[in-house]
Amino acid sequence: MDKIHDIIIIGAGVVGCALARALSRYKLDVLVLEKEDDVAGSTSKANSGVIHAGYHKKPGSLKATLNVAGHSYFQRLSDELDFPVKFIGKLVVAKKENEIEDLRKLMDRGFKNGVKGLELIDGKQIKHFEPNVNGFAAMHSPVSGITSPYLMCIALAENAHLNGVDFVFDTEVTGISKEKEIFVVQVSNGSIYRSRWLINSAGLNSARVSQMICENDHRMYPCRGEYYITDKVDTLIKRLIYPTPSKDGVTLGIHITPTLDGNILIGPSAEYIERLDDTASTREVMDKLKRESSQFLPPIKEAKFIRNYAGIRAKLFHPSSGVKDADFVIEEDESIKRMINLIGIESPGLTAAPAIAEKVVGIIGEKEALVDDEKFNPERKAPVVFEHLSDDEKARLIEQDPDYGEIVCRCETITKKEVLAALNNPLGVRTLDGVKKRCRAGMGRCQGGFCTPRIVEIMTDEYGISPEEIYKNNESSNMFFGKVKDDREEG
């Protein structure tokens, strides 16, 4: 592969995807290398999906400024790229009188950071807003919102791809060198990619990846956050419900997050762990999540749970060192020119991603003129979501294409047509989890019980592959081991 790309991005999390899309408006040859099977294969799929308002972080820090700036992009991005956002508002709830001081501090920070609409409310007003929530007082943040983090990544990446960016999956960067001002990037399958610029948005691996060529002493302290997902409970809460932030400043505390699909997320916990990829759930934390969340939302105890998951924060400090926070690292390396490192992009990284992307574009733009690509198309259409349509629209679609008339996933009412659209996604992702992220088949209360056999059938037909070639996500997650009976025996 002798081609020299203008820019290689390492990692297709939300930061890599936002950057790919931001760069795709210029006349540049951009390539994204990702070790997982799909975009949002790591932290960017396992978080709270909250579009933070920006009152939490220290005024003047990158975390604060890029959060507030990032927030301001979301509505437009959602309009252009057709992924869901909803500004449902948030209550940060003080359980006792002595926590009001904490709320005031947040108000103060929010004011300094330029967050709009914050107000303190009392217990009575809490009940007015959220009848099921208990609290003494709360800070109401009307501009806080939610999105689907993986649909957002898919939308950003598909639009980038439409505008010429290539994505290569199942490809881990294993070594970096520089020959005559050109980066030589080695990957897991032995191939080599070359580029003029190299951008490291490798999330949890970003310190390691930077140290493949740069000299620095960044170190990653993985901090796991576990969650519960409930079955649909539309009526319990309308807004995000947060406790006052933990005193150690490590996290925002276990909160309750309604999702766009009517489920509720409980979490995340915060626990420093050994391994960067240990996303297992643990009994102790699962019990704690239920206990703590029911303190301010008692009816959550009755909720039915459909799944657990965990995401890992890319922290650059360990609280035992006395450090309370570390800012995002977003910079061109001092000695390795045109290598930009994005390290420690933890919360509010999802919210900040569009602003982080613009900041990186700025760094590049200072060094060389970026030429607008007049063919750039800012719009991307999401596939149809049958369940969201009116009866008349549903009827019309089925008449146009009978594949809309076969429901494959009964819990989420997903049609065969939607599964086919997911299978034929522009990024060429071909795994079961890829289908699930794109059309929600298998995300409901039966967790794929009814639809998995049918999806396997549709996948083998559509791709012309055998079932052994179907993977849950990466190539060691195979689902099947051949046939039970030889075909000949069947007849």
Partner 1 sequence: MIEKKVDIAVIGAGPGGLAAAVSAKESGADVLLIERNPFLGGILIQCIHDGFGLHLFDKNYTGPEYAEEMVNRLENAGVPYLTNCMVIDLNEKKELTVVTSKGLMKLIAKAVILAMGCRERTRGALEIPGTRPAGIYTAGVAQNLVNIQNLRIGNDVVILGSGDVGLIMARRLKIEGLNVIRVIEILPYCSGLVRNRVQCLEDYGIPLTLSSTVIDIHGKDRLEAVTMAKVDRDFNVDHDTTEKIDCDTLLLSVGLIPENELSKKAGVNLDNRTSGALVDNFYETSTEGIFSCGNVLHIHDVADYASNEGFFVGEKAAEYAKGKWKHSGGKPVKIGNGISYVVPQYIRNDCNEVELKFRVTQPFENVRIIVKNGDDVVFKKRVLKVIPSEMNILKLKSIDPEKDVEVKIVIIDKNIN
Ligand X SMILES: Cc1cc2nc3c(=O)[nH]c(=O)nc-3n(C[C@H](O)[C@H](O)[C@H](O)COP(=O)(O)OP(=O)(O)OC[C@H]3O[C@@H](n4cnc5c(N)ncnc54)[C@H](O)[C@@H]3O)c2cc1C
Contact status: 470 vs ligand X (CB under 6 A): no
| CA gap 227, 313 in Å, rounded | 13
**339 to 378: interface string for partner 1, x by CB under 8 A:** ----------------------------------------
| Residue 102: both structure tokens together | 């904490």
| Residue 279: both structure tokens together | 């996303």
Does residue 52 carry a catalytic annotation?
yes
Q: Tell which one of 105, 132, 447, 469 touches partner 1 (CB under 8 A).
A: 447
| Residue 431: both structure tokens together | 């795994």
Nearest approach, Cβ of residue 282 and partner 1 (Å): 5
Q: Tell which one of 7, 8, 9, 12 touches ligand X (CB under 6 A).
A: 12
Q: Which of 290, 299, 238, 295 is nearest to 267 (CA)?
A: 290
SS3 288: helix
| Residue 186: both structure tokens together | 């080695």
Contact status: 259 vs ligand X (CB under 6 A): no
Pairing of strands 119-122, 4-10: unpaired
Nearest approach, Cβ of residue 152 and ligand X (Å): 10
Q: Which does 347 bind (CB under 5 to 8 A by kind): ligand X, partner 1, none?
A: ligand X
- List Cα–Cα distances, 371 to 29, 45, 199, in angstroms: 12, 33, 19
Q: At what angle do helices 74-81 and 149-162 cross, to 10 degrees?
A: 60
Q: Tell which one of 7, 10, 198, 423 touches ligand X (CB under 6 A).
A: 10
User: For residue 313, what are the β-bridge partners?
Assistant: 223
Nearest approach, Cβ of residue 477 and partner 1 (Å): 4
| Residue 480: both structure tokens together | 């099947």
Contact status: 473 vs partner 1 (CB under 8 A): yes
| Residue 158: both structure tokens together | 């598909």
Q: Which does 484 bind (CB under 5 to 8 A by kind): ligand X, partner 1, none?
A: partner 1
| CA gap 24, 19 in Å, rounded | 8
From the candidates 5, 52, 71, 161, which is the catalytic residue? 52
Nearer to partner 1, 261 or 358 (CB): 261
**325 to 364: interface string for ligand X, x by CB under 6 A:** --------------------xxxxxxx-------------
Contact status: 171 vs partner 1 (CB under 8 A): no
In total, the chain counts a number of residues equal to 491
**236 to 275: interface string for partner 1, x by CB under 8 A:** ----------------------------------------
Q: Are 8 and 31 in contact (CB under 8 A)?
A: yes
Q: Which does 309 bind (CB under 5 to 8 A by kind): ligand X, partner 1, none?
A: partner 1
Q: Which residue matches tokens 């369940």?
A: 387
Q: Which does 272 bind (CB under 5 to 8 A by kind): ligand X, partner 1, none?
A: none
Side-chain-side CA neighbours of 282 within 13 Å: the count stands at 13
Supply the DSSP string of 59-87, one letter for each residue. TTSHHHHHHHHHHTTHHHHHHHHT--EE-
Supply the DSSP string of 187-244, one letter for each residue. ETTS-EEEEEEEEE--GGGHHHHHTTT-------EEEEEEEEEESP-TTS-SSEEEEP
Nearer to partner 1, 153 or 266 (CB): 266
Which region among 5-13, 99-107, 278-286, 478-486 touches ligand X (by CB under 6 A)? 5-13
Query: CB-based contacts of 451: which residues, under 8 Å, 6+ apart?
Result: 408, 409, 410, 414, 441, 442
Name the maximum alpha-carbon separation found in the chain: 76
φ, ψ (nearest 5 deg) of residue 36: -85, 180
Q: What is the CA radius of gyration of the chain?
A: 23
Q: Which does 35 bind (CB under 5 to 8 A by kind): partner 1, ligand X, none?
A: ligand X
Q: Which does 61 bind (CB under 5 to 8 A by kind): ligand X, partner 1, none?
A: none
**173 to 212: interface string for partner 1, x by CB under 8 A:** ----------------------------------------
Residues from 376 through 415 that contact partner 1 (CB under 8 A) = 391-392, 394-395, 398-399, 402, 404-407, 410-411, 413, 415
Contact status: 234 vs partner 1 (CB under 8 A): no
Contact status: 33 vs ligand X (CB under 6 A): yes
Residues lying near partner 1 in the complex (CB under 8 A) are found at 228-229, 277, 279-283, 286, 304-309, 391-392, 394-395, 398-399, 402, 404-407, 410-411, 413, 415, 445-450, 452-453, 456-457, 467, 471-474, 476-485, 487, 490
Task: Tell me which residues are annotated as active site.
Answer: 52
- Give the binding site for ligand X (CB under 6 A): 10-16, 33-36, 41-44, 47-50, 52, 172-173, 201-205, 209, 225, 268, 311-313, 345-351
